[in-house]
Amino acid sequence: MPSNVPQTFRELLDGCAQSAVHLEMRDVYAVDYEQGPFADWRAGFRHNPADRASWWRPWLDVVTEAAGRGVTIRRARIVSEPVSEYTRYLYDNTFTNVAAGEHVRWLPRRRASDLALPGNDFWLFDGRLVQWNHFGGDGSSQGPEVTENPAAVKLCADAFEAAWARATPHEQYEIR
């Protein structure tokens, strides 16, 4: 990988000028079932959208800054139905992503069967640079990998646009 390619996600998004798209394809990511936000949600806690200070976090600042510079940020989630408990948790908290400036859509997995999709979740920045997100079987992060390989970029761009075109906007998606 060339040394001039940004290495951290923050650097990648800070260097983005037009668009950042994210395709998520897992039903579960590593979570702590005993403590933390997912455990709190499982116990019945729900963020109050009107109490922004209670749910705003540094990630949302990064998104807001990028959107403020004119970067369009889109996230498509391919999900199995009925959804996993973790996907329900994501759904309940997606209002925070939207408030920060992301556009989010949901695509039921059975409607994605005939799409050519890469083997890993990814971010695509300005249609030129991919960050793969590698995960273990238990959902734990195995670290990112960044590439400017034109074939990988094209695969991700085409896959994202195909999924986005079929997906339902967050405000219209009914969780099942």
Q: Is 51 inside a domain boundary?
A: no
Residue 109 lies in a domain: yes
What is the SS3 assignment for 76? Answer: strand
Q: Is residue 6 part of a domain?
A: no
Residue in 165, 56, 60, 156 with CA at minimum distance from that of residue 102: 60
Q: How far apart are CA 67 and CA 60, in angstroms?
A: 10
Residue 103 domain-assigned (yes or no): yes
Residue at token pair 């339902």: 168
d(CA 175, CA 169): 12
Q: What is the pTM of this model?
A: 0.94
Q: What is the average per-residue pLDDT within 75-82?
A: 98
pLDDT score, position 3: 46
The total number of structural domains that make up the chain: 1
Q: Does residue 98 fall inside a structural domain? A: yes
| Structural domain boundaries, residue 102 | 13-44+62-172
Q: What is the DSSP string of 84-141?
A: PHHHHHHHHHHHHHHHHTEEEEEEEGGGSTTS---SSEEEEETTTEEEEEEE-TTS-E
pLDDT at 1: 42
Tell me whether residue 3 is in a domain. Answer: no
pLDDT tens-digit readout, 90-106: 999 999 999 999 999 99
CATH of the domain at 74: 3.30.870.10
pLDDT at 8 over 90: no
Joined tokens for residue 32: 């702590």
Sign of CA dihedral 167, 72, 117, 26: negative
Question: What is the sign of the dihedral through the CA atoms of 54, 59, 62 and 64?
Answer: negative
**Within a domain: 153:** yes
Q: Per-residue pLDDT tens for 40-71?
A: 999 999 999 999 999 999 989 999 999 999 99
Domain presence at residue 133:
yes
